[in-house]
Chain A
C-alpha cells in the first residue's frame, strides 16, 4: 500500500479539476467532488498510517527514479499523523461549507488544491519539491482568502501574496545555497553531505538562515506575521477554519523537517547560535502575539493573533532541540490545528446568532446557544492548557523539555503565554456566560465607546459601523436577539462539539501520540 502516499496528493489535484470541467453541467459538482475527495483522502491517510504503525517508516520513489536523483516521498509517524489531520479537517470543512458557504464550484476547486498542497508538504522528502508544494499551498490560500465578498478580502489576499511569495522565494534561495554547496536536494542525502561540507561553511549557514526566515514568514511568527490577521479576519469562516488549522501548520512542519531531517541535531551542537536565534524569535513571537490578542475586540482577529503566539510556542519547542520539547511542539501542532479549526467554526456559528464578531456582541450568548457556547468554552480552555485537554499535553512537554535543556527562558515564556491566553479567552467566555444580551440602549452606547477605543488598536472598519449604529439600530438588535441555537446549522454545531470532544480525548491519549512521534525523533537524536 505504499502507493497510497502518492495518491494523497494526486487524488485531490485530479478531483480539483472536476468542478471546473463539469460545474457548468451540474451545479453541485464542486461539493460532491470535494466530499468524495475528502473521504478518499481519509481512506488513503488511514492506509498510510496503518502501514507506518505496523511496519514502520517507508519511502516511495516518484516515477521510479532512484531517490538521491529522483523525488522521494517519506511516511513516518509524524507525517502519517499530520496526513490524517489534513483528512479530518478537510472532511469537517467540506461538510461545514455546504451550509456556511462559500458554496461555489471555484471554492471547492481551491480547497482541493490546498488539500493537495498541504498533503504534499507533509509527505515530501525533497527540498525543492517542498518549495513547489509550499507554493501550491500559498496560491490556493490566496485564492481562497479572496473568496470573501468584501473588497477588503481581495486586499488582504494581495498583501498575503506579496509577503508570502517573498517568504517562499527566500526559502528557495536558501535551498539554492544548500544545493550549490552539496549538489543534492534529497533531505536524507543532505543530512549526510552537509557535515562533509562543514557546518560552519558560510553557504550552509546562510542557507539555514534564509530557509528559516522564509518558513517563519509562512508560519506567521512575529515580526513576519503582518499578513496573517487580515487574511484570517477577511476570509469566509469556513476558509479561516481551514487555513488556520493547516496552512501555518504545514510551514511549521516544514521547519521541523528542515531543522531535524536536513540539518540534524549535530548542526545545533556545532553552531548553537543558529537555534539560539530561533528560540529568541519564537519567544518574542509568543509574548507579542499573546499581548496583541488581548488587545483585539474582533474575535476572529483575537484568534489570529493567538495563532501567532501558539506557533511561536511550537517553534520554540522545535528549537529547544531535545526529544521531549520537540515531541511537545508536534503535539501542540496537531492539537492547535484541531482547537483552532473548532474555535473558528464556533465563532462563525455564534456570530450568526450574536449579530457580530466583537467580544461585546457575544454577551449573553450562553443562554441563547448553550451547546455551541459550551463547546466553544471547552475549546478555549483546551487552548489555554487546562488538563486533560491536548493543549495541556503539548505545553507540558515543551516546558518539561525546556527545563531539561536548561532553556529557562522558554519555560518562563510558555507559562506567561498560558496566563495571557487565559486573559483573552476568559474575557470572551465571561461575556458569554455572565453578561446579559446587549438588548438595551445602554449596552449599545457601551459598545459604541468600545468600538471607538478598539479602532485605535487597529481593528477593522466593521467595529466602527457597529459602534456607530446607535439607538436607531436598537430595534434591529432586539430582533436579532430572537435567533438561538436553532439558527446555527446542525453541521456547525456537530463540528464544534466534535472538535471539543476531540481536543479532550486527544489530551487523554497524549501518551500514545508521544509513542508515535518518539521513534521518529530518536532517529534524529541518535
Chain B
C-alpha cells in the first residue's frame, strides 16, 4: 500500500482532483465556485493524460537525444488541445455569470431560485 503511494502518487492526485472538482460542482450553491470546481475536475483529467505519457528515465522522442525508451509526446499534445477547450468553456461560463449577475444581483443558486419564484 505504501509502495503504491510512493510509485503511483500521480494517479492518486488525479483521482483526488476529479473527486474534489465534482464535489465542488455539486455541493456549492455559488455559480462561480461551481465553475472553479469544473476547472479542478478538468485539470484532474489533464493530469491523468499527461502523467500517462511520462516514463521514468525516458528520453524525449527527438532524434539525437539519447536512445530509448522514449516518452510519448502524444498525450501532452492532446491535452494542449483539451486545455484550449477548457479555457474557452471557462470564458463562456464567466460571460454567462456576468449576465446572470446583472439580471438577478446575486450568484447564489438558492437566491436566484427565490427571485424566479417571486417574479
Interface residues of A (CB under 8 A from B): 128, 131-132, 135, 138-139, 142-143, 146, 151-152, 154-155, 157-158, 161-162, 165-166, 169, 172-173, 176, 179-180, 461, 465
Contacts and interface: CB of A to CB of B under 8 A. Distances in A.
B45 A172 contact: yes
A381 to B, nearest CB: 36
A165 B89 CA distance: 8
Contacts of B99: 146, 151, 154
Contact of A179 (B18, B75, B82, B119): B75
A138 B92 CA distance: 11
B93 A461 contact: no
B48 A161 contact: no
B71 interface: no
Contacts of A128: 78, 81
Contact of A139 (B18, B82, B89): B89
Contacts of A173: 18, 45, 48
Contact of B96 (A132, A157, A172): A157
B47 to A, nearest CB: 11
Given A151-B102, A162-B38, A176-B45, 10 more contacts: A128-B81, A139-B85, A151-B99, A154-B100, A169-B42, A172-B45, A173-B18, A176-B48, A176-B75, A465-B119
A131 B119 CA distance: 40
A152 B116 contact: yes
Interface string B41-72: 11001001100100000000000000000000
B100 A161 contact: no
A143 B88 CA distance: 11
Contacts of B88: 139
Given A166-B25, A169-B45, A173-B48, A158 B93 contact: yes
B52 A180 contact: yes
B89 A161 contact: yes
16 contacts: A132-B81, A135-B85, A139-B85, A146-B99, A157-B96, A158-B97, A158-B100, A161-B93, A162-B35, A162-B93, A165-B89, A166-B22, A169-B41, A176-B52, A180-B52, A461-B119
Given A162-B25, A165-B89, A154 B78 contact: no
B38 A151 contact: no
B116 A461 contact: yes
B51 to A, nearest CB: 10
Nearest to A462: B119
B38 A166 contact: yes
B104 interface: yes
Interface in B85-114: 85, 88-89, 92-93, 96-97, 99-100, 102-104, 112
B60 to A, nearest CB: 18
Contacts, number: 71
By Cβ-Cβ distance, the 9 closest A-B pairs, closest first, are A151-B103, A154-B99, A158-B96, A135-B85, A180-B52, A154-B96, A154-B100, A173-B45, A461-B119
Q: Which of under 10, 10 to 19, 20 to 34, or 35 or more describes the interface residues of B? A: 20 to 34
A155 B45 contact: no
A257 to B, nearest CB: 19
A92 B25 CA distance: 37
B114 to A, nearest CB: 12
Given A166-B38, A166-B41, A172 B82 contact: yes
A135 B41 contact: no
A131 B85 CA distance: 10
Contact of A151 (B34, B48, B100): B100
Given A132-B81, A166-B22, A166-B38, A155 B48 contact: no
Contacts of B49: 176
Given A132-B85, A180-B52, A165 B96 contact: no
B20 interface: no
A52 to B, nearest CB: 29
Nearest to B77: A128
Q: Which of A128, A143, A146, A154 has the most CB of B within 10 A?
A: A154
Contacts of B78: 128
Nearest to B89: A165
Contacts of B103: 151, 154
B38 A165 contact: yes
Nearest to A184: B74
A455 to B, nearest CB: 9
Nearest to B99: A154
A305 B103 CA distance: 28
Contacts of A154: 96, 99-100, 103
Contacts of B18: 173
B96 A142 contact: yes
Contacts of B75: 176, 179
A203 to B, nearest CB: 11
Contacts of A172: 45, 82
B2 to A, nearest CB: 23
Contacts of B93: 158, 161-162
Nearest to A156: B96
A151 B98 CA distance: 11
A416 B55 CA distance: 55
Contacts of A161: 89, 92-93, 96
Contacts of B31: 158
B37 to A, nearest CB: 9
A135 B88 CA distance: 10
A152 B100 CA distance: 8
A22 to B, nearest CB: 23
Given A143-B92, A155-B112, A461-B116, A165 B42 contact: yes
B1 interface: no
Nearest to B92: A142
A165 B49 CA distance: 17
Nearest to B37: A162
Contacts of B112: 155
